[in-house]
Chains A and B, each alone.
Chain A
């Protein structure tokens, strides 16, 4: 399986993502520059965290001017998986690929640490290797982690099973209903603020991020049986 790790000016964790996919999970991964618009040859796209375009205007907003966003929108239509973590989630929201918006953290501070999360939906292609209701620990690091959707949208997201992760502790930073990760309607795009690529090796503090990558690969293998 080939993952494109989409890098924007100011993306800072693209290499962490490559390390997780290539060295730990053992699949193909390469960094694709935001000016290189061609994503067609890849099986999945990941938007890593960082501070794309300096977080100017609103985090994730200016990335819309990159050629890669149009090809990303085309890629989303093909039904292949797209994962955005941290700033990558903010980019997906600003591009209108996922619902909602991000506000500054409730206490106005940049915060980082480990968050305990509930796996709210374990039947998605990103979470099938987790158990429903399982609690996992993933690192987070954000200043604009305060996820906002209006009440109606939150209700709809919940009814549709599109809330994939919620915070089980106080690291929600004000996020509506403690939402930590949401899916698009088609179920092939996941955005999440916690950072699974930082939890793939016991030696650096945990492996709760691994099942997320394994889920994507499992789903892909099931749908591409004869690719050998």
Chain B
């Protein structure tokens, strides 16, 4: 099985109320250097297939279900592809 990390983030044009609340909380805790906070999501997948297959299938999963492209962007990292 190969591990894939899918990173889902809110599009830049979308206001992130959770990020704003977290930023305010960080400021209250003394982390004044924090300018902006955006909260996203990490989805860990384990799947089989060759590098090329995994890339194609994960892209499809993102487009079909895991990501809503109206409000979100994504990227993913494929871990070491399990041999044989």
Contacts and interface: CB of A to CB of B under 8 A. Distances in A.
Interface of A: 57-58, 61-62, 64-65, 94, 99-101, 103-108, 146, 148-150, 174
B68 A107 contact: no
Interface of B: 13-15, 17-18, 21, 64-66, 68, 70-71
Contact of A57 (B13, B14, B65, B70): B65
- Which 4 pairs across A and B sit closest by C-beta, in order of nearness? A101-B70, A101-B71, A101-B68, A106-B17
B71 A61 contact: no
Nearest to A99: B70
B17 A108 contact: yes
B15 A108 contact: no
A150 B17 contact: no
Given A64-B65, A103-B14, A174-B15, A148 B71 contact: yes
A58 B68 contact: yes
A105 B17 contact: yes
A64 B14 CA distance: 24
Nearest to B21: A108
Given A61-B68, A174-B17, 15 more contacts: A57-B66, A58-B68, A61-B65, A62-B65, A65-B65, A100-B70, A101-B68, A103-B15, A103-B17, A104-B18, A105-B17, A106-B17, A108-B17, A146-B17, A149-B70
Contacts of A64: 64-65
Nearest to B10: A103
A62 B18 CA distance: 22
A62 B68 CA distance: 12
Most buried by B among A64, A106, A148: A148
Q: Which of A94, A103, A105 has the most CB of B within 10 A?
A: A103
Contacts of B21: 108
A108 B66 CA distance: 22
B18 to A, nearest CB: 6
Contacts of B15: 103, 106, 174
A107 B20 CA distance: 10
B74 to A, nearest CB: 13
Contacts of A100: 70
Contact of A103 (B64, B65, B66, B71): B71
Contacts of B68: 58, 61, 94, 101
11 contacts: A57-B66, A58-B68, A62-B65, A64-B65, A99-B70, A103-B14, A103-B17, A104-B18, A106-B17, A148-B71, A149-B70
Contacts of A150: 13, 70
Nearest to B13: A150
A104 B20 CA distance: 12
A101 B71 CA distance: 7
A80 B70 CA distance: 27
A45 B17 CA distance: 34
